[in-house]
Amino acid sequence: MKFVRYSSSWSTAVEAAARLVTPKSILKDPISLVSHEMSQLANNIGSLIGSGHPTLNRIGAYYFESQGKKIRPLMVLLLSRALSEIPIEQRNRIKIDDLDIPDQPVYPGTKSLTAIFKDPVGPLTPLKILHGISPNIILDPLTKPHETLPEFDYKRGILPKQRRLAEIVEMIHTASLLHDDVIDDSDSRRNRPSGNIAFNNKMAVLAGDFLLGRASVSISRLRNPEVIELVSTSIANLVEGEFMQLKNTIFQPNVDLIENDTKIIPQPTGKVPVDIHEYSVSLPKNQTITHEQNVEAAFEYYIHKTYLKTASLISKSSRSAAILSGAQDDVIENCYQFGRNIGLCFQLVDDILDYTQTSEQLGKPGLADLQLGLATAPILFAWKENPELGELIQRKFKNKGDVELAINEVYKHDGLNKTKILAQEYCEKALGNLRAVLPESDSRSALEFLTNAIVTRTK
């Protein structure tokens, strides 16, 4: 059965959502709604990522110059506004502050508070130490506070820390794109040469590291231990998810081998523990594994990998936005689940589009997953019906004709529509999370619209 294509409502959804975080003066021109909001985001991020090297500056800003979906920061902004609709007396889990950085601590023996509060949003460490050189001008590219909260943000209920959170999330995501394009040897991203092609592999990797470093500084400036823990963990999750993709232990269970089981890795010396934690996925031990159990474990592995690589950043930033709003635990948990469900939905749709859209439509290589040897949901659904596909998956479609055979089997066993149904299930769960704890409002409606649009997008 041929996959049914749906007309995209993505651009319409983004424009409608952008109206809620854009000044009224911009609303006269619908086309400018998204470009204005995204340019604001890029400008704010640009003030956070400056370095002392011109080439590093150019590659650091490279992906921010192009028009990406920017779904992550947009979700944070809209969710922040929706959370502000909850009555203030019901948002008392923590003290809500409207400062970019809260008051500095008062140390024992301090004679005057004047010096401490003179520049409450400045760095704690002298700039000449942070940068290793005395600056010619008074400039701290490690942080740029929102000196005054824009009037429309006051009206929308978006706190400065939530705005900064949106910027941090996009910085982390962009860093992961720079790294992913090197790992996957991609040649295009957002309809232009990828960072590794426009510059080179070494510079792309280092620029990604630099963005993560700058993001870490901005995370620490939020001065909320819970949020710092969440967002920092999402960076580690990205790496763990990438390793799950590089070495799929369901299909290649021998942990002493990598690179399609062709290379033996060094044995541990025992000086440092190397045990995996309990939050992992593996096949049942000491029993005969049926095909159904194998498929179930592969799906569990795939979903967990997808959570770590895609949904973790969205879910943890959604949870962080709720924490910063002072919301109660049930609201925080539903915001987290919303981000998790929408993140899984987003990736499932991406997996479908990899089969159905051209490279020009996607702005990046099409059929990349199979070419990279990745078993995503569509092929897993086909494998469930045809056990013989397991051999192709295990060898990562590296033999001649494997990719073409896999594509035919996906269509033959309706793998794309089955993936679409699964994506819709996660979409419905995400909508349920929003409606469970957020009052009716235009911002919640925009989030619902965006959530539905993710399932029907075509790029």
Whether 26 has a pLDDT exceeding 70, the answer reads: no
Give the DSSP H or E segment for 257: strand 257-258
Whether 25 has a pLDDT exceeding 50, the answer reads: no
Of 23-27, 301-305, 329-333, 447-451, the poorest mean pLDDT is in 23-27
Which pLDDT band, with edges at 50, 70 and 90, does 98 fall under? confident
pLDDT value at residue 40: 73
Six-digit token string for 257: 């081998």
pLDDT value at residue 2: 45
End-to-end distance of the chain based on CA atoms, in angstroms? 22
Q: Cα(276)–Cα(279) distance, rounded to whole angstroms?
A: 8
Name, of 320-324, 370-374, 442-446, the range with top average pLDDT: 320-324
Whether 116 has a pLDDT exceeding 50, the answer reads: no
For residue 300, give every residue at least 6 positions away whose Cβ sits within 8 Å of its Cβ, in sequence order, or none.
Answer: 281
The full set of domains in the chain, from first to last, is: 10-101+143-456 (1.10.600.10)
pLDDT value at residue 277: 82
Tokens 């011109």, residue located = 54
Q: Cα(140)–Cα(273) distance, rounded to whole angstroms?
A: 40
pLDDT value at residue 31: 29
**CA neighbor of 415 nearest in space, from 371, 370, 454:** 370
For residue 171, give every residue at least 6 positions away whose Cβ sits within 8 Å of its Cβ, in sequence order, or none.
Answer: 45, 48, 49, 211, 212, 214, 215, 218
pLDDT value at residue 458: 82
Q: Cα(119)–Cα(2) distance, rounded to whole angstroms?
A: 62
Q: Cα(263)–Cα(164) distance, rounded to whole angstroms?
A: 43
Q: What is the pLDDT of residues 360-381, one digit of tens each?
A: 666 666 688 898 899 999 999 9
Which pLDDT band, with edges at 50, 70 and 90, does 287 fall under? confident
Whether 124 has a pLDDT exceeding 60, the answer reads: yes
pLDDT value at residue 20: 65
Please tell me whether residue 258 adopts helix, strand or coil conformation: strand
Name, of 153-157, 222-226, 433-437, the range with top average pLDDT: 433-437
For residue 370, what are the CA distances in angstroms to 150, 265, 298, 391, 406?
46, 26, 16, 14, 8
pLDDT value at residue 108: 45
pLDDT value at residue 32: 30
Q: Cα(249)–Cα(301) distance, rounded to whole angstroms?
A: 9
Which pLDDT band, with edges at 50, 70 and 90, does 157 fall under? confident
Rg over CA atoms, the chain: 23
DSSP state of 440: S
Of 64-73, 131-140, 319-328, the poorest mean pLDDT is in 131-140
